[in-house]
Chains A and B, each alone.
Chain A
Amino acid sequence: MGTLVVADHDNTNLSDATAKVVSAAKQLGGDVHILVAGQNCGSVADASAKLDGVTKVLLADDAIYSARLAENVAELVVGLMGDYDAVLSSATTMSKNFMPRVAALMDVAQISEIVKVEAPDTFVRPIYAGNAMQTVQSSDAKKVITVRTTTFQAVGQGGSAAVEKIAAAKDPGLSEYVGDRLSESARPQLTSAKIIISGGRGMQSGDNFKLVEAVADKLKAAVGASRAAVDAGYAANDMQVGQTGKVVAPELYIAVGISGAIQHLAGMKDSKVIVAINKDEEAPIFQVSDYGLVADLFKALPELEAELTKLGL
C-alpha cells in the first residue's frame, strides 16, 4: 500500500506542480506511484519516472483521457484505489475538477489544498481566504487530498521508476471536449514564475497593461492581475491571482495599482518579497509589502523599465 499521485500535464509536458505533490506524498510514508492519464502522453510518463521517490508510473494512454474529463479520470482513479491508502494531486483546475468526484465515489471526505502534512492522517489547510489555518485529522480509511503546491519543495529528478501501461476504465460517456482557448504567452507561467508583476483596477484599461508587460519582459516575469482588473476586462481570467484564482509564491511579487483586498492577498501573501506601487498611501497592500512606493503608476512603470534597462536587464 502507498500513495497514488495523479500527474498534472497537457499530454506533452509534466507540470512542475507534480514534483511538489510527490514531495507531499513522500511525507505520508509508503511507496509513491504516479498515474499519468492522457493520450499520446508517453513523454509525461517518462518525465514522471525521473522524479525522486517515485517507484512506479502507471500510464493510461487512451483517447478518452485526451482532455482529462472529470467523469473519465475519476472512474479510472477509483478503480485503482484498492491498491492505495491515499490519492494526491495538485490544487490546479484539472485536479479540483475530478478529485472531489473521486472522493464522493469512494465515500470519503476530500481534504482540499493542504499546505502541510503533520501526520499521515493530519493536515494543515487554509480557510477563509487564508485568514485562518485549520489542522484537520481524517477518520477515513483512505485519503483524497489536493495539495497547494506553493508550500512544498519540488523533488529532484534522479529517479528511474518503471512505467507500466494500464488499461483504460470504461467511458462513462457523460461529457465531451469541444475546444480550448488557451492564452498564448512567451512569458513564464504564473504558478512557476520566480518574479510576478500584477496589475489591478488602477491600470484603467487593458491597453495600459503594456506598461506592466514591458517591465515583465525586463525581469523575465509572469504577468498577473487582480480580480477587479479581470472583471473589468483589462486582463484574461487565467491571469487572476487570489482566493478564487491562482495562488502564487514567487521570489518577487510586484503589485501595481492593486489596493490589496483580502481575496487578492490570499493568493500572493506567501511571496518572498512583495513590492507595492500605488498612489493611495492608505491602500491595504502596503501593510503586507516589504517595499512600498507611493506613486502614480503611469509615471513609475516607465521609470522602472528605464532603471532596469540601466542595469543591463
Chain B
Amino acid sequence: MKVLVPVKRVIDYNVKARVKADGSGVDLANVKMSMNPFDEISVEQAVRMKEAGTATEVIIASIGPAAAQETIRTALAMGGDRGILVKTDQTVEPLAVAKILKAITEQEGADIVILGKQAIDDDSNQTGQMLAALLGRSQATFASEVKIDGDKAEVTREVDGGLQTIRVQLPTVITVDLRLNEPRYASLPNIMKARKKPIDEKTPEDFGVDITPRLKVLKTTEPPTRAAGVKVESVQELVAKLRNEAGVI
C-alpha cells in the first residue's frame, strides 16, 4: 500500500519566535528553519512500514515556498521514495492544505496518509482531521502506536485521561503524537542518495484549489511577559513566602 507523508517547513524547534516590531507577524528572516518535529515522526513511521513490508512506497509532500524542497530532501534522506512540492509563497491555511492533500491523495491512490498532529508554528492541530473529513475517511489522531491488520488499523491514541485504542477502517488518515517513535538521523550516504530522488513541482492551481485565507490576521503581538521574581535561600523561606506573601498555600 502507498503511504503519503506531508511535511511542513517551520521555524526550528529550538528557536524562540520573535514578533516583528510593526506587529505584522513573526520575524522569519535569517531564522533557522527545520522540518516540523511531529512530521519527522510521521516520516519515521512511514519508512518503518516500508521496511516491514507493509508499505510499498512512501511519498513525501510539502506545500510552501521553494525552500520547502530542503524539507522534502530531509524526508527523502530518512527513507522516503519521492517528493511532491506544491509551491506557493502565500500563507496556506489548514483547510486549503487539506484540500490540496486530498487531491494528491486521490491522484496517487495513497491508502494511508500520516501527518504530524500539529505544526509548531501556528499550533492549529487541524490538517489531518480536515483531510480525513474531505476524503470521507476514518481518522486516528494523536497516535502513539499503530498496527495495520488487514483492512483495518488499530491505533492507540494519547488522550487527556491517558490512552485510548480505536480500530479504524482503511484507507485512513493518521496523525502522530510524540511517543510513536524516535525519528532516525539520515546517514551521509542516504543524504547523497536523496539528492537523486525525484521531486515533482506543482502549484495549488494545478489541483484547482483556492487558497485564499479565510482568516485575516489583524495583528501579531508579544505575549504579556512575566518578570523574574526573587530567589529564596531555603525551603523554609519558600514556604513562608508562599504562605504569607503569595497566600497560595
Contact = CB atoms under 8 A, between A and B. Distances in A.
Contacts of B214: 108-109, 138-140
B218 A122 contact: yes
A307 B241 CA distance: 12
Given A128-B26, A128-B120, A134-B219, 5 more contacts: A70-B129, A104-B95, A109-B213, A307-B236, A311-B239
Contacts of A195: 248-249
Nearest to A91: B125
B200 to A, nearest CB: 25
A298 interface: no
A213 B134 CA distance: 45
Interface of A: 10, 67, 69-71, 74, 92-94, 96-105, 107-113, 122, 126-140, 173-183, 191, 195, 219, 227, 230-231, 236-238, 243-244, 246, 251-252, 262-263, 269, 272-275, 281, 286-295, 300, 303-304, 307-308, 311, 313
B34 interface: no
Contacts of A94: 159-160
Contacts of A238: 158-163
A132 B220 contact: yes
What DSSP secondary structure best describes chain B's contact surface? Answer: mixed
B123 A112 contact: yes
Interface residues of B, number: 81
A246 B161 CA distance: 11
Among A97, A100, A181, A313, which residue has the most Cβ atoms of chain B within 10 A?
Answer: A100
Contacts of A179: 164-165
Interface stretch (B44-52, B57-65, B70-78, B166-174): B166-174
Contact of B242 (A10, A181, A275): A275
Interface of B: 11, 13, 16-19, 26, 38, 93-95, 98, 117-118, 120-134, 137-142, 144, 154, 157-169, 177-179, 213-223, 226, 228-232, 234-236, 238-239, 241-243, 246, 248-249
A300 B233 CA distance: 11
B217 A304 contact: no
Contact of A304 (B154, B164, B235): B235
Chain B CB within 10 Å, residue with most, of A231, A262, A294, A307: A307
Nearest to B118: A244
Contacts of A252: 242, 246, 248-249
29 contacts: A69-B166, A70-B139, A97-B129, A99-B129, A100-B126, A100-B127, A104-B95, A112-B124, A126-B223, A129-B120, A131-B26, A138-B214, A139-B216, A175-B168, A177-B165, A179-B165, A180-B161, A181-B162, A183-B161, A191-B160, A238-B160, A244-B117, A244-B177, A273-B242, A274-B229, A288-B226, A308-B239, A308-B249, A311-B243
Contacts of B154: 178
Q: Which of B120, B126, B177 has the largest number of chain A CB atoms within 10 A?
A: B126
Contacts of A131: 16-19, 26, 223
Nearest to A266: B123
B166 A292 contact: no
A292 B232 contact: yes
A93 B229 contact: no
A135 B226 contact: no
A132 B223 contact: yes
A132 B123 contact: no
A195 B38 CA distance: 30
Given A101-B132, A231-B179, A304-B235, A135 B218 contact: yes
A102 B172 CA distance: 17
